[in-house]
Amino acid sequence: MAEFNYTVKDFKSENEVRWCPGCGDYAIMNAVQRTMAGMGISREKYAVISGIGCSSRFPYYMSTFGFHPIHGRATAVASGVKLANPELSVWVITGDGDAMAIGGNHFIHLIRRNIDINLILFNNRIYGLTKGQYSPTSDRGFKTKTSPFGTIEDPFVPGQLVIGARGTYFARTIDSNLKLSQTVFEGAAKHKGTSAVEVLQNCVIYNDGIHDEITDPAFRAERQLILEHGKPMLFGNDNEKGIVFDKGKLKVAVIGENGVTINDILVHDATEVDPTLHMALINMQLPELPVAFGVIRNVEAPVYDNEMVEQINSIQKTRKITCVDELLKSGNTWEVK
């Protein structure tokens, strides 16, 4: 790996950052910049593509190549960037409106194709840039300017879509947990294929505290399960609790109670191809179960951009037509004298 001795500063642009004071986006950007500085990739090889929404102002604040196209299409634009030049490290910055509503189709197809792109989904469960309407990840009954009497629809769970689209990498983090964010971003960058990271992000203006139930420091240890590959699924103030598989369902067990030992606790295997358990982890919710964080799924599968390059290379090895002049003369032609 090449050494570049980058610091976070090398990835900050001169543009003034214009997110609201206290916005979760600051911490996420910090984690991304730290990750990029440490990847051993030279700066001009990074391309950061965003959609539309607060999160999507992100590329303006980066000193890498950046593209801020139109609403919902960042995933498709990024696909074109990566296929044009597979040497690039391509990142998509998107939000719950951008990726789950207007760009939902492109989101699932990016993941299905498994193009080597790192996608960070800022999930604040609200439309911030348009000043406070419900989003596709807002809970049923949620009251906003466009749902004054509460929504009458169920939300998407982003991880479910990732699994449904046969995703190969899914992680979840919280804006305020810089260390965890950096870990899962690094994992995403190293993973070959599409990596989707959901960040629970707080909108201080329009949806302040939406994730508090999960992130409140007083209850954090009880309510968050930070997964690590190869380690038992333990949580709680003293790591005394764990996740067990009982009658087809995930349940919380306390070590030492009812004869439960550490050996009964599930050990996290992010590399398991069968998505059943990963789906169950994604679905865990309060109050019965803690919410899962960390790298939930990280499996190998054919990568679209590799396959594209290899297909072209293998066909070119035995090609009969090597240039346009030869193509024009191929097949049935005749000479008029």
Partner 1 sequence: MKDTRVIELDEVAIRFSGDSGDGMQLTGTLFSDASALFGNDISTFPDYPSEIRAPQGTVGGVSGFQVQFGKKQINTPGDYAHVLIAMNPAAVKANAKFMKPGGTIIYDSDTFNEKNLAKANFATDDPFAECKLNDYFKIPVPITNLTKESLKDFGLDNKSVLRSKNMFALGLVCWMFNRPMDYIEEYINTKFGKKPVVAESNIKVLHDGFNYGMTMQHMTPTYLVHPANIESGIYRNINGNHATAWGFLAAAEKSGLELFLGSYPITPATEILQALSERKDLGVKTFQAEDEIAGITSAIGAAFAGDLAITTTSGPGLALKSEAIGLAVMAELPLVVVNVQRGGPSTGLPTKTEQSDLLQALYGRNGESPVVVLAASTPSDCFWYAFMASKIALERMVPAILLTDGFLGNGSEPWRIPKMEDLPSITPRIAKNSETFKPYERDKATLAREWAIPGMAGFEHLIGGLEKNKMGSVSHDPDNHQINCEIREEKVKRVVDLVPDLEVNGDDDGDVLIVGWGGTYGHLISAVRELRLEGKNVSLAHFNYIKPLPANSAEIFANFKKIIVCELNLGQFASYLRDKMPQFTYYQLNKLKGLPFTVNEIKESVYKLLEE
Minimal distance in Å, beta carbon 78 to partner 1? 6
Bridge-based pairing state of the strands 241-246 and 234-235: antiparallel
Q: Which is nearer to partner 1, 3 or 325 (CB)?
A: 325
Q: Which is nearer to partner 1, 108 or 120 (CB)?
A: 108
Residues 242/264, Cβ–Cβ less than 8 Å: yes
Q: Which is nearer to partner 1, 179 or 317 (CB)?
A: 317
Burial of 224-243, coded b for 16+ CB within 10 Å and e otherwise, reads: bbbbeeeebbbbbeeeebbb
Q: Which is nearer to partner 1, 92 or 233 (CB)?
A: 92
Give the CA angle between residues 41, 24, 137 to the nearest 5°. Answer: 100
Minimal distance in Å, beta carbon 162 to partner 1? 16
Residue 68: C-alpha distances to residues 74, 83, 127, 203, 294 (Å): 8, 18, 18, 21, 28
Q: Which is nearer to partner 1, 41 or 243 (CB)?
A: 41
Tokens 């960390």, residue located: 294
Minimal distance in Å, beta carbon 316 to partner 1? 6
Minimal distance in Å, beta carbon 246 to partner 1? 40
Q: Which residues bind partner 1 (CB under 8 A)?
A: 13, 15, 42-47, 49, 59-60, 62-70, 73, 76-85, 87-88, 105-106, 109, 308, 311-312, 315-316, 319-325, 327-329, 331-337
Token code pair at residue 252: 């919380």
Residues 11/162, Cβ–Cβ less than 8 Å: no
Minimal distance in Å, beta carbon 94 to partner 1? 13
Residue 328: C-alpha distances to residues 315, 318, 336 (Å): 19, 19, 16
Q: Which is nearer to partner 1, 84 or 286 (CB)?
A: 84
Bridge-based pairing state of the strands 126-127 and 133-134: antiparallel
Ramachandran bin of 141, using left for φ above 0, alpha for ψ from -120 to 50, beta for the remaining angles: left
Minimal distance in Å, beta carbon 66 to partner 1? 4
Minimal distance in Å, beta carbon 325 to partner 1? 5
